[in-house]
Amino acid sequence: MERTLVLIKPDAVQRRLVGRIIARLEDKGLRLAGLKLLTICRDLAAEHYAAHKGKPFYEPLLKFITSGPLVALVVEGPAAVAAVRKLLGATFGAEAEPGTIRGDLALSNRHNLVHGSDCPAAAEQEIARFFTPAELLDYKMSDNRWVSELLPE
């Protein structure tokens, strides 16, 4: 089973969209493995977005992501990284397809509601950045056999 990190960013928290976003992930059949509400510090934000250092949007991104509480969650399921990325939609909300989280709920690039890991290796690193192993739960869902043949019964 694959795990991935999702950050529900401060704009989504301020717009009271957390429950709707989590519901979309659960509706897909993904299982919550970890969940927390936190405000991240600049150092953690800089580590998380290190790949963008030096780009024109880097400083505004750090200011935005540290501006208020966000919800960090780990979701699990078959091909979870790809499934989440598809659910989130294109980075630019105005360009995201209807039916995706950003396509239905966002217009902006900077205020694009959510972050999702872009590959399994990144997911592993990002999860470790926000969660300790003890904060991640492993349990079975009673509807597994109805969600995917790849899930244990």
- Which strand (E) or helix (H) includes residue 63? helix 58-65
Q: What are phi and psi of 34, to 5 degrees?
A: -160, 145
Residues that are catalytic: 115
In the chain, helix, strand, coil percent, each to 5? Answer: 45, 15, 40
Backbone angles phi, psi at 104, to 5 degrees: -90, -25
- Tokens for 83, please give them: 């499934």
Beta strand extents in the chain (DSSP E only):
2-8, 31-38, 70-77, 114-116
Q: How many CB atoms lie within 10 A of CB 107?
A: 12
Any bridge partners for residue 75, and if so which? Answer: 4, 32
